[in-house]
Structure 1
Amino acid sequence: MKIERSMHNDIPLADLFEMICTLAYQERKCLDAGALSHEVSVTRTHDGAVVKAKRKMPTVGFPALLRKFVPSGVTSTETVTWGPPDADGARSADLHVHFHGTPASMNGTIRMVAEGAGSSVIVDAEFKAHVPLIAGKVEKIAAPIILGVIDAEDATAEAWARGVR
């Protein structure tokens, strides 16, 4: 199932990248998304970064079909590999999310571009549930939950830019 989200904020592009590469920001985004536990790492490369976030999310409120696969919480490891800036400062990243103990994964790209005095972040990914006969149903149920986590991360970025930490 296609997972797409475009988010605009007032954070200048270079500042947005630096924020994303901050351990404290990565920890805050996990907490703000409701993680029960988390581990984060940021590894700067010559002209990019690899950001990893492993988090356990609660499944309270999940539909029964999803709770069958993750009754006590879902643990995911998100790996975002940022490349170098292009001529106008925009950056692209490969996105990979592994959902531990489940037959599901998400892969795609994230693009960060300047927009006016601020910037936009565009997520373009594919969530796949590899479950015979019910994959489509699982994907339709999970998509809004995934989008909710993305929206929570966007709200964290906005708050962080205002100095709320």
Structure 2
Amino acid sequence: MKINRTLAYDLPPEDARAMSCDPAFQERKCADAGALDWNVRVTERPDGGTTISTRRTLPTTGFPSMLRKLLPAGMVSTEIIDWAATAEPDGTCTATLRVEFHGAPASMHGTIRVSPTAAGGSSITVDGEFKAGVPLIGGKVEKLAAPIIFDVIDSEQRTGRAWVADGV
């Protein structure tokens, strides 16, 4: 299932990327999304890029009953964001995105693209493919899980806007 969401921040792309790479922002993002626990690791790579690894547990309260049956103890995921070392000439920054859902035969792979806007801010596009490898019902699981994935992405935008408003 295609996952596509566009976020916006009143920051230039370089600053939006830097916000994403700040461990305190990643931790706040987890807390704001309602995660029960999390572990964030930000690593500067020798090539100048940055890898962000975030493992979190989200409660399944409010999940559709079919998903709660598959994930009775909560949804544990690991999100890996690999930011490229350099921006494009126009300031656009790109990253690959991978999310593994532990204890569930599901994953998401895609890209994050942070582009400048005419007003001096950033447009962040998350473009991915979510797959649930459950025989016979994989498509149904994908449709049930998609709104939850969108909610997590939307929560990140709220966190980012609060981060900017707080002047962090």
Please tell me the TM-score bracket, short chain as reference: over 0.9
CA offsets, 1:115-154, max 9 Å, x none? 1210010000000000011011000000000000000001
Q: Which runs of 5+ in 2 are unaligned?
A: none
- Decide which moves more: 33-42 or 15-24: 15-24
The reply to whether residue 48 of structure 1 matches residue 49 of structure 2 is: yes
State which of 139, 154, 158 in structure 2 corresponds to 1:151: 154
Q: How does 1:1-165 map to 2 (within 5 A)?
A: 1-45=1-45, 46-83=47-84, 84-116=86-118, 117-163=120-166
3-state SS of 2:40 partner: strand
Q: Secondary structure at the match of 1:68?
A: helix
Deviations 1:25-69 (A, max 9, x none): 010000001100000011123432101110000001111110111
- TM-score, normalization: structure 1? 0.96
Contact 1:55 1:76 in 2 (8 A): yes
Q: Which amino acid aligns with 1:58?
A: P
Q: 1:54 is paired with a residue of what secondary structure?
A: strand
Per the alignment, in what secondary structure is the counterpart of residue 59 of structure 1? Answer: coil
Q: Is the 8 A contact 2:107 2:132 kept in 1?
A: yes
Report the Cα offset of residue 12 of structure 1: 1.6
- RMSD value over aligned CA atoms? 1.1
Identity of matched residues, %: 52
TM-score relative to the length of structure 2 = 0.95
When structure 1 is superposed on structure 2, of 138-147 and 10-19 the one drifting more is 10-19
> Which ranges in structure 1 are unaligned for 5 or more consecutive residues?
none
3-state secondary structure, aligned to 2:90: coil
Are the counterparts in 2 of residues 51 and 79 from structure 1 also a CA contact under 8 Å? yes
Report the Cα distance in structure 2 between the residues aligned to 1:115 and 1:17, rounded to whole angstroms: 14
Structure 2 Cα separation of the partners of residues 87 and 47 of structure 1: 17
Equivalent pair of 1:92/1:112 in contact (CA under 8 Å): yes
